[in-house]
Amino acid sequence: MAVGISQMQNVDVMARKFLNESYTVMLFHYDGNVDGWRSLEWSDKAIHIVAPNQTKWWFAKRFLHPSVVAIYDFIFLWDEDLGVENFDPRRYIDIMVSEGLEITQPALDPDLSTDIHHRITIRNKMTKVHRRVYDNRSSMNCSDDSKGPPCTGWVEGMAPVFSRAAWKCVWHLIQNDLIHGWGLDMKLGYCAQGDRAEKVGVIDSEYVVHQGIPSLGGPSDTSKLPRRSLDLRTHVSITYALFPLNLNQYVSPAYFLTSIALLFESTD
């Protein structure tokens, strides 16, 4: 996970959710502070990598090469400022598999989230999963005839979840010098392993809260922004990646870090 020490308390809650389900956690320390995390009882179980002042996509391109993470069935590439009280990783994956989805994100709680940028990410309390949004505004005009984003086949960059096959494709979409990743979300559907309108979706029954806390992007004045404002771009998204373990295979942290070190040298 790409994390800063100021978000340690929230990341602690998130990481525990996943570690309890036998996930592997990787911490990308963008502020250079590793020792501050040692007090957490699970810290020694995580893989720690330090690269000051780097962002989500920079980390993903260098440390999440498809060959390195090939033992994992799914990859969670999430921001560090998500509330997970109503999220269960195991149920989430069960839904993703049963629905035949390759790229997903959990829906956002519209009542508690402070940053909602796109209508398609808002939780629908009446469904388990939704794949499209309906909007008759002239600027959107989303209907059953819509074939692509932002109406269907789209998830936001704050909390995507990828199948192994989808991530192998997405990794190649990421430029080596990509920082913010703005616009990349519009291209993720090309990696859906089929019809993006069917293979990409938002899971409503397992949802999160987007707290919208600025971190690496620096301080910002959010007091002037309306609560639950839509269709706005945010500061740099800082994420963390969580990998569900394939229980039939295991890779030691030492081997994993060695592979990453070699990869870093070859892609920088």
Report for 13-22, 91-100, 137-146: range of highest mean pLDDT: 91-100
Q: pLDDT for 208-258, tens place per residue?
A: 999 877 666 444 344 443 344 333 333 333 334 455 544 344 344 444 444
- pLDDT at position 31, please? 93
pLDDT at residue 57, rounded to an integer: 81
**CATH assignment of the domain containing 169:** 3.90.550
Q: Is pLDDT at 181 greater than 80 in this prediction?
A: no
pTM: 0.81
For position 34, what pLDDT does the model report? 94
Query: Average pLDDT for residues 121-142, to the nearest whole number?
Result: 91
When the pLDDT of each residue in the chain is averaged and rounded to a whole number, the result is 82
Q: Do residues 14 and 7 lie in contact, with contact meaning Cβ atoms separated by under 8 Å?
A: no
Q: Which domain holds residue 95?
A: 2-267
Q: State mean pLDDT over 189-198.
A: 96
> Do the Cβ atoms of 166 and 191 come closer than 8 Å?
yes
Q: What is the spatial distance between Cα 144 and Cα 129, in angstroms, rounded to a whole number?
A: 16
Question: Which residues have a Cβ under 8 Å from the Cβ of 193 and sit 6 or more positions away?
Answer: 102, 163, 165, 166, 169, 199
Q: Which pLDDT score is estimated for 215?
A: 62
Q: Which amino acid is at 247?
A: L
Q: What is the pLDDT of residue 245?
A: 47
Q: Which helix (DSSP H) or strand (DSSP E) does residue 62 occupy?
A: helix 56-63
**Chain centre to alpha carbon of residue 60:** 11
More confident residue, 252 or 33: 33
DSSP code, position 105: E
Amino acid, res. 240:
Y
Which tens digits make up the pLDDT trace of 198-215? 999 999 999 999 987 766
| Count of domains for the chain | 1
* Residue 1 scores a pLDDT above 80: no
Secondary structure tally for the chain: helices H, strands E: 6, 10
